[in-house]
Chains A and B, each alone.
Chain A
Amino acid sequence: MRRSVPIFKNELLVLRRDPAWLILILVIPLILVGLMRGGVHFILVLTGHPGASGADFSVPAQAVTFVFYLPALIGLSFLREHGWSTWVRLRASGIARTHLLLGKVLPIVVLGLLQMLVVFGVGSAVYGLQIRGSVPALALVASALVVTVVTMGLAITAVVRTVEQLNAIGNIAPVALGALGGALMPLLTLPAWVHRIAPATPQYWAMRGFSGVILDGQGFQSALLPTAMLMTFAGVFALVAAIGFRATEARLSFG
């Protein structure tokens, strides 16, 4: 763990030099909450939540949608090592593979949790988000979601070979899976066929966990099934990453 610390700090330093990602995952969702909450309020009223504000859906929805941009950041953090020719140096530095992976992944865990904290925090303070149920349940779902996002990032990293492939997957996944999982619009407004395939997306289970606590005022128990499902997704992604990840494999960082 101690040997992962320099890599962890280095990743944060590199990230600080180009804060575009911080803006993408922290600022953009909050802007979109402000734009969408009015329209969403009417949908919530029509779908059986007369007392809910638009923020009660928009805040978790935007948090879920935008946290799924982090897998692309994980992929980028590995591909740029190849582009900068630092990957060989890291591998020859005498650091264990697990410590190397941990050092590169932990900053994304921190970013994911920070994103949840900021979007939900500002959502409450500025947009009037009301958490009617258990806050620990909310934290449990948020944590499971971040674990899912990180393992998804590792799985994508194991599969892609170029930055172009990473960009394609990393940009399509948040929007496509977010739409199918009910994180862009409430699921009740979507066609019936979407309802059938929505549970195949992690976004669906994250939204189900958050909505149960925020809109329906449910307790800790309600978060257990969504959390278990998210962790199942995480397990599958971790398996893909473990099978597909080859440290010796050359990657084309650009081209």
Chain B
Amino acid sequence: MQSSEVDQDQEVARELLAFRVLKEAPALEVAGVAKSYGSKPALRGVDLRVRPGQVVSLLGPNGAGKTTLLSIIAGVLQADAGTVRVNGFDVGRHPQRAQRSLGFAPQSTGLYEPLTVKENLRFFGQLAGLDRRCLDRRVSELCEALLLGGLRERQCQHLSGGERRRVHTAIALIAEPPVVMLDEPTVGADIETRLAMIALVKDLANSGTAVLYTTHYLPEVEALTAAVVLIDGGRVIAQGSVDQLIQAHGSGELELRFKGAAPRVEVTGIPIRSDGESLWVSTPEPAPVAARILNRLDGDIHRLDSVTVSRPSLESVFLNLTGRRLDEDGADAA
């Protein structure tokens, strides 16, 4: 090894040690990351941390800046400002070391179409430097975990959408990286794939892997008991556990529908909206509020047709914070 390489390695080792000793080291740390495409800002100072064994779900509408952020973390796009550390390695200063600590499954499934499932897995494993024995073990483990056992010798061009998605995810995990980023891993996937994916992510977290997971399916976030980072317009607008976010920003919805025009009802401290035949209330606790309103209906209770109670959800958190739904397109970020 040449002396410059030794110096560089020593510098990296010192930096890594300092990082681990001085800080409670997150496996993934994003600090003040900003990125613009021309004059259009895509990220405006994003901060994010994922600890080993933690699943963080990055949520935001299309165009919120999620894919840009993931591309910067993966080292395939350069940030205009800010730093990203993967397993202690600064992506800007030591991109290859950072990348070798990261398993990344981008949104589009990336597979060598004429090659078999096994050949695809082996190639990316070899690229990560796995030896033959380790490679064989990982291929077997991942094929079992992601229900690919019977498909090992099948060319990827002959796989279904869900099967392709599972191989795509397996590739990101082949080298057992300490940090994994899965960008919409269940888009277009069947229920079997979705369940396998959630079980796999839970296993990863249990084994100490830090997982950053983007999705549009909110039940998945709850199933993963993931911490949530809400992103919109290139900014983190809220973060915390699902319960914390709902408690802080969520609201349930109560609808009382009548036969004929909705009556005029007033309850102290509860803003009630009237909409033709319905009364509407947005509240963090819709059930007790429903009871209080029902008590005030008097004779109108006989005209009551239905009562619908929607519990507070992440969707309502996003709606309250941005005035838009999660499945709407973002306003001004890529």
Contacts and interface: CB of A to CB of B under 8 A. Distances in A.
Contact of A18 (B96, B98, B114, B171): B114
Interface residues of B, number: 30
Nearest to B95: A94
Nearest to B73: A92
A232 B109 CA distance: 41
A13 B99 contact: no
Nearest to B94: A94
Interface string A79-114: 000001111111111111000000000000000000
Contacts, number: 72
B236 interface: no
Interface string A46-74: 00000000000000000000000000000
Interface stretch (B120-128, B241-249, B294-302): B120-128
Nearest to B156: A84
B76 A14 contact: no
A14 B114 contact: yes
Q: What class of interface size applies to chain A in its complex with B?
A: 20 to 34
A94 B76 contact: no
A89 B110 contact: yes
Contacts of A87: 110
B114 A85 contact: no
Given A7-B127, A10-B123, A92 B75 contact: yes
A92 B111 contact: no
B124 A96 contact: no
Interface string B57-100: 00000000000000100111100000000000000000111111
Given A3-B129, A91-B76, 7 more contacts: A9-B126, A10-B123, A85-B106, A86-B112, A87-B110, A91-B75, A92-B74
List the 6 closest A-B pairs by CB distance, nearest first: A94-B99, A6-B126, A94-B100, A85-B110, A17-B114, A85-B108
Interface of A: 3, 5-7, 9-10, 13-14, 17-18, 84-96, 248
9 contacts: A3-B127, A13-B119, A14-B115, A85-B108, A86-B110, A86-B112, A88-B110, A94-B99, A95-B96
